[in-house]
Amino acid sequence: MDSSIISVRGLVKSYGAVKAVNGIDFSIAEGEIFGILGPNGAGKTSTIEILEGLREPDQGEVLVSGFIPRERKDAFHQLIGVQLQNTAIFQKIRVGEALDFFRSCYTDGHHPESLLNLFQLRDKIKSFAKDLSGGEKQRLSLALALINDPQIVFLDEPTTGMDPHARRTVWEIIADCKKQGKTILLSTHHMEEAERLCDRIAIIDQGRIIALGSPRELVRALGADKKITFTLSVPTELSLFRQIPGVSKVEQQNNEIVVYTAEPQKVLLHILSEAPTRELVLSELRISDANLEDVFINLTGRKLS
């Protein structure tokens, strides 16, 4: 094992005949935000739950700050903060009571008042957990994950069910946690979330890591960081666009053509000059940056979500 704060080697976890995690290796440096990006059922939650100590791996070694998670030592639990994928909280507890109760479980931590403000739950302090909206429950769950001021935070799809405003607030809080030196492992299937927050990302599919690196590295590995997207009036062979100098890849996504290139202006001019001679009419034309969704499609041939 190396000096990383989280170290995973040869992790395997099966449920019956299904191999949810199939030989995963990665390590996370202290203070890093590490993302696990993948579609539903890719093995994200199983991996995180093994790191939290909730599940026993079938094979492999896992160390979290020197602890073997499954041994469930109090010192380990004092060190970690966890937000589970499904908000698990007493139905008849009020928001303020939940924060007080979870704080009382730990020897150190934040004052519940500060988290009420941070997660915009002050006006819900007397509300029962069962009466909260999906986004409010998720915010409460996040507040409970941070109540012990943990050194390592595990967030399993932290913004699921949140509106865009609440999602951005949570992103700011996660970024603040990094500034405080916390190490964060988050799973998500929102590529924008992964791109915006993570220092490094493991793209996972069918229990295996299929790419690992910083968002920029992963996109750069496509061989092109821009994409030209458009629809055509008549069906056309994709090879027509593949022949254009500077084009690294061409894909058909539903009825849209996506052309990847590092030289978007040159390639676009070529397409536009060729179109009239071939009686092609382009519509919904746009140039954008390639992103992790494109990386996933490139690697698997499928969309992420």
Partner 1 sequence: MRKLFRVALMEIRFLLRDKITLFFTFIFPFFLLIFFGSIWGKYPGYYSALIPMLIAMVALSGGIFGVAIGLAHYRETGVFRRLSLTPLSSRSYILGSLLGRFILLMLESLALLLVMVLPLKQTIKGSIFTLLLVIIVGKIAMLSFGGFIASVVKNGDGAVAVGNVVFTPLMFLSGGFIPLNVLPAFIQKLALGSPVYHYISAMQNIILKGHSLAQEWLSISILLVFFIICTLFSKRLFSHG
Is residue 140 within a helix (H) or strand (E), and if so which, with residue range? helix 134-146
Contact between 34 and partner 1 per CB under 8 A: no
In this complex, which beta carbon is closest to partner 1, that of residue 110 or of residue 196? 110
- List phi, psi (to 5°) of 234: -130, 150
Question: Measured between alpha carbons, how far is 29 from 41 in angstroms, rounded to an integer?
Answer: 26
Q: What residues between 188 and 247 interact with partner 1 by CB under 8 A? A: none
- Smallest distance, partner 1 to C-beta of residue 171, A: 23
- Smallest distance, partner 1 to C-beta of residue 232, A: 49
| End-to-end Cα separation, the chain, in angstroms | 34
Question: What number of helices (H) and strands (E) belong to the chain?
Answer: 11, 13
75-94 mask for partner 1 (x: CB under 8 A)? --xx-x-x-x-x-xxxxxx-
With CB under 8 A as the contact rule, the residue among 35, 43, 53, 57 that binds partner 1 is: 53
Contact between 104 and partner 1 per CB under 8 A: yes
With CB under 8 A as the contact rule, the residue among 14, 29, 30, 101 that binds partner 1 is: 101
Question: Measured between alpha carbons, how far is 168 from 162 in angstroms, rounded to an integer?
Answer: 9
In this complex, which beta carbon is closest to partner 1, that of residue 78 or of residue 229? 78
How many other C-beta atoms lie within 10 A of the C-beta of residue 47?
29
Question: Which region, judged by CB under 8 A, interacts with partner 1, from 30-38, 47-55, 177-185, 245-253?
Answer: 47-55
In the structure encoding, which two tokens stand for residue 188, read together? 């998500």
In the structure encoding, which two tokens stand for residue 295, read together? 């990386």
| Cβ-based neighbours of 54, under 8 Å, separated by 6 or more | none
Question: Which region, judged by CB under 8 A, interacts with partner 1, from 50-58, 160-168, 204-212, 225-233?
Answer: 50-58
In the structure encoding, which two tokens stand for residue 220, read together? 């750069």
Q: Which residues bind partner 1 (CB under 8 A)?
A: 52-54, 72, 74, 77-78, 80, 82, 84, 86, 88-93, 97, 101-102, 104-107, 144, 148
